[in-house]
Amino acid sequence: MRKRASIFSIAMVLALGIASAAAAATKGAHATTMTGTVSAVDQKAKTFSLKTDAGSETPITWTSATRVRGGALKDGDHARVSILQKDGKNVATSIRISSAKTASKTS
The vertex-70 CA angle with 67 and 76, nearest 5°, equals 110
| Whether 23 and 36 share a structural domain | no
For residue 25, is pLDDT > 90?
no
Specify the number of domains making up the chain: 2
Establish if 59 belongs to a structural domain. yes
| Whether 58 and 73 share a structural domain | yes
Of residues 21, 90, 14, the one with CA closest to residue 52: 90
pLDDT tens string 70-101: 988 899 999 999 999 988 899 999 999 987 65
What is this structure's pTM?
0.64
Establish if 58 belongs to a structural domain. yes
Cβ distance 39 to 57 under 8 Å? yes
The per-residue pLDDT for 4 is 73
| Whether 66 and 97 share a structural domain | yes
- Gap between the Cα atoms of 72 and 80, Å rounded: 14
The per-residue pLDDT for 75 is 92
> What's the domain range around 4?
1-30
The per-residue pLDDT for 31 is 77
- Gap between the Cα atoms of 48 and 61, Å rounded: 7
